[in-house]
């Protein structure tokens, strides 16, 4: 029984939190941090270096304060187009932006200071006379990672409690000699 319990906790620690899960658990095809703009992919990562460290996040930033928003332009063809990036606060006001220009290195960074709320990230691809927009929400300061830890803790407590209950039940059913 101890081996089963040890194996369970080892698997929980090893698999419970990996960078792959932060981006949807797979490659770019299943990456929930990837934005499709026309036929192009832009990979989005958000960081809170002062509070969370260098852990990449996507749609949810648990803390308020300074953040780094990184947009990786996938493929050489996309880098030949003008791209604009905007971050809008919950009232729709532009908090940070990069103007429409070509980014030959394929990386666009924003360095906003964020308060609690739901922001909009807008990426605009300028293709001649046309422009293509993609928007996504960015939830800030809701302690969203805390909810996952609470749920995990409850699950672990139930699991451990059921093991103790089973062992006690087994002990009571054993004949007394």
- Write the pLDDT tens digit of every residue in 104-153: 999 999 999 999 999 999 999 998 888 999 999 999 987 655 555 677 77
Q: What's the pTM?
A: 0.66
Count CB-CB contacts under 10 A for residue 95: 17
pLDDT band at 72 (very low <50, low <70, confident <90, very high): very high
Rounded Cα–Cα distance for residues 85 and 96 (Å): 8
Radius of gyration, CA atoms only, the chain: 23
What 3-state class would DSSP assign to 4? helix
Q: How many residues does the chain have?
A: 177
Q: What's residue 3's pLDDT?
A: 53
More confident residue, 111 or 159: 111
DSSP for 99-118 reads EEEE-TTSEEEE--EE-SEE
Greatest Cα pair distance in the chain: 90
Domain topology for 33-142: Immunoglobulin-like (2.60.40)
* pLDDT tens by residue, 45-69: 999 998 888 889 988 888 889 999 9
Per-domain residue ranges of the chain: 33-142, 143-177
Q: What's residue 20's pLDDT?
A: 39
* pLDDT tens by residue, 14-35: 444 444 344 444 444 567 789 9
């Amino acid at each position: 029984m101890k081996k089963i319990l040890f194996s369970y906790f080892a698997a929980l620690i090893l698999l419970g939190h990996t960078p792959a899960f932060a981006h949807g658990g797979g490659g770019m095809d299943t990456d929930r941090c990837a934005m499709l703009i026309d036929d192009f992919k832009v990979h989005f990562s958000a960081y809170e270096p002062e509070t969370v460290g260098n852990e990449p996040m996507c749609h949810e930033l648990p803390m308020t304060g300074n953040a780094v928003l990184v947009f990786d332009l996938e493929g050489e063809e996309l880098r030949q187009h003008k791209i604009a990036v905007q971050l809008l606060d919950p009232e729709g006001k532009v908090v940070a932006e990069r103007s429409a220009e070509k980014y030959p290195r394929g990386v666009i960074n924003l360095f906003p200071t964020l308060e609690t709320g739901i922001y909009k990230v807008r990426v605009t691809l300028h293709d001649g006379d046309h422009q293509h927009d993609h928007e996504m929400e960015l939830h800030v300061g809701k302690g969203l990672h805390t909810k996952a830890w609470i749920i995990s803790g409850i699950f672990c407590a139930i699991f451990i409690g059921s093991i103790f209950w089973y062992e006690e039940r087994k002990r009571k059913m054993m004949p007394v000699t």
